[in-house]
Amino acid sequence: MKRLSALILTGILGAALLHLPVAAAALPASNASEIATSYNDLTTQFYKKVDEQRVLDSVRSSLQTLLKHENVKGALRPLHAGTTSAANIREIDLAVESAGRLAGKKVKPVDLTYAAIAGIMNSVHDRWTVFLTPKEYAELNQGLDGSDFGGTGIVIQEDQATKYIAVSNVVPDGPADRAGIQQDDLITAIDGASTKGWSIDRASAHLRGKEGTKVTITIERDRKMLAPITLTRAKIHQISVFEKMLPGDIGYVALSVFGKDTADELATALDRLHQRGAKAYIMDLRNNGGGYLEAAVGVSSKFIASGPIVSVESRASNITTLEANDTAIAPVPLAVLVNGYTASASEITSGAIQDSGVGTIIGTKTFGKGVVQTIYPLGDGSAVKITTARYLTPLNRDINHRGITPDITVSENKKPRFGDPKDDAQLDRAIQYINDRLAHLNATSAPVTGAGSGSKR
């Protein structure tokens, strides 16, 4: 009831200041609550001190832009920061109500609210601190956490040599995996129709379908045609880790994002590759824009047995150090591929591996995003994403706007096919590095022979 009274009072004050009728509608309680929450989240959680007057100026500008876009004439009065957050929130509420009166039915209250919240976020001029509409927030979650669909569990690509559809990966325990479909198999036909010259989208549309329905594929493996295989489509969860075995018993894992399941998916991939005899690993983080901080710690912990992974420094200069979680595999040669689009959580992992010395970074300098964002959901499905801290690598390196310089710099070739050593110069160099490391390890561990070396076996 106290909150309701405050909102009504806000409406009355607005009418008095603008010399408008007292009966003018106040900002709906749910909208006012989201504005207040967003304002408080920014001013208390943003990793730098926030200028309240700049926030109010940005809100006014954002609302004015919305009115102009809707061809609404009239100017909003300047907003003035007070001495308390409550006073500043009232100023924002008044501005939204004033914009609503000017717009009439041309603009919905929710759109005015979103414009105000966007203005609040834009005030700090931080590209990562933004307002997310319900659609944008849902898409962000789907991108990080994956989606479910009916399908066969086959990851496909076009085979350049034959123009058929090639299997680049299979989803663990999916229909294709259970049926024995393997990496590098060629799908020459789907339901009797040749796939020669098909696009990836066309093939994907034929492989996907309602759960429980069937699809028959014809496979060519090692230049031999296999009997047609009928698969029953099932619910498939979009994965973020793709694995395959490279020549020389080198396991290759490519991470598309750092989602909530990525660390577990990586553990599964590494285990599968180990069972197939992998002696070393290449982890591909190119074009990986990051994701959850917890996922970066989980992924890094698969290779770093103990010690710090990353230190997070908040606005109050409080530093929290996150340690490896005791899930590391046995140490083997490791190379990590990076490029200019390797960012955020990918850089946390790259920096931790580089600083700890458990692997070698290969490629080009990374993006340089050394700050951490926290997402604060709002009541209607929208959210605000705010930069709340900066992070430091285990050796206390701040890589923001600097990036991580690889141990071995290799430029990207023209029109690369990531994951294919024949058309991927950076991967080819990583394979060379791994082979050299394996050769060195074999040489240093070979038994010494000669006079007095012991009994013959």
**Annotated catalytic, 344?**
yes
Main-chain phi, psi angles of 438, to 5 degrees: -65, -40
SS3 410: coil
Of the residues 185, 369, 382, 385, which is catalytic? 369
Among 27, 168, 152, residue whose Cα is nearest residue 94 = 27
**Annotated catalytic, 58?**
no
Among 122, 142, 126, residue whose Cα is nearest residue 134 = 142
Please state, in angstroms and rounded to a whole number, the distance separating the CA atoms of residues 432 and 418. Answer: 16
Residue 173 neighbours by CB distance under 10 Å: 11
SS3 422: helix
**Annotated catalytic, 369?**
yes
Of the residues 344, 346, 350, 356, which is catalytic? 344
Among 282, 309, 164, 280, residue whose Cα is nearest residue 223 = 164
Of the residues 159, 185, 355, 424, which is catalytic? 355
Q: Tell me, what DSSP letter sits at residue 105?
A: G
Three-state SS sequence of 304-361: CCCCEEEEEEECCCCEEEEECCCCCCCCCCEEEEECCCCCCHHHHHHHHHHHHCCCEE
CA angle, 269 then 414 then 284, to 5°: 15
Please state, in angstroms and rounded to a whole number, the distance separating the CA atoms of residues 3 and 14. Answer: 17
How many alpha carbons lie under 13 Å from residue 449 in its C-beta half-sphere? 4
Distance of CA 296 to the CA centre of its chain: 10
SS3 283: strand
Please state, in angstroms and rounded to a whole number, the distance separating the CA atoms of residues 452 and 255. Answer: 51
Encoded amino acid at 58, one letter: S
SS3 208: coil
How many alpha carbons lie under 13 Å from residue 363 in its C-beta half-sphere? 27
SS3 377: strand
Please state, in angstroms and rounded to a whole number, the distance separating the CA atoms of residues 367 and 344. Answer: 8
CA angle, 337 then 339 then 340, to 5°: 160
Are 430 and 333 a contacting pair, CB within 8 Å? no
Q: Tell me, what DSSP letter sits at residue 258?
A: B
Catalytic residue annotation: 344, 355, 369
